[in-house]
Amino acid sequence: RHLLDDPQAVEAAIWFHDAIYDSRAKDNEAKSAELAEKKLAGRASPHRIARIAAMINATATHQLPPLRDEGALNDAALLLDMDLAILGAEPAVFDAYEKAVRLEYGWVEEPMWRAGRSAVLKSFLARPHIFYTTEFRLRFEAKA
């Protein structure tokens, strides 16, 4: 929490980022962001709600959103790193996670699953760093 500019906004983004989830859908993050905007209207400032929605939407691609505020950008980086922290988990923990994800996508035939999952994981390896923040790089990058 001490690394965050707006811990409450990040917490809201965490709670809402998979509020709507269907493994067959391509718009889960957008729908989750819309739900957050709807539920938080009148409870947070429009600026904060936009920040939360931007963080939620960023989890679709794991690319930093176009935020101009340095604090908001740092918060988004930390949220994305939290979302990918499993990549740096102990092998048994990661394997259990992968098995659970495979169950979620049980409707996908094995060759398509392998190709798709491989593409996702390779996309992270193709980046200069898997994690955006120094804190997560130091803790998880080597294992990931």
The DSSP 8-state label assigned to residue 110 in this structure reads: H
What's the CA gap between 15 and 26, in Å, rounded? 19
Q: For the beta carbon of residue 69, count every other beta carbon within 10 angstroms.
A: 13
**Pair of tokens at residue 89:** 């988990």
Chain segment 90-105, per-residue pLDDT in tens: 999 999 999 999 999 9
Percent of the chain past pLDDT 90, that is, above it, reads: 97
Reduced to 3 states (helix: H, G, I; strand: E, B; else coil), residue 40 is helix
The beta strands (E) that lie in 1-144 are given as: none
Chain segment 20-65, per-residue pLDDT in tens: 999 999 999 999 999 999 999 999 999 999 999 999 999 999 999 9
pTM above 0.85, yes or no: yes
Residues 6 or more apart from 102 whose CB is under 8 A from it?
113
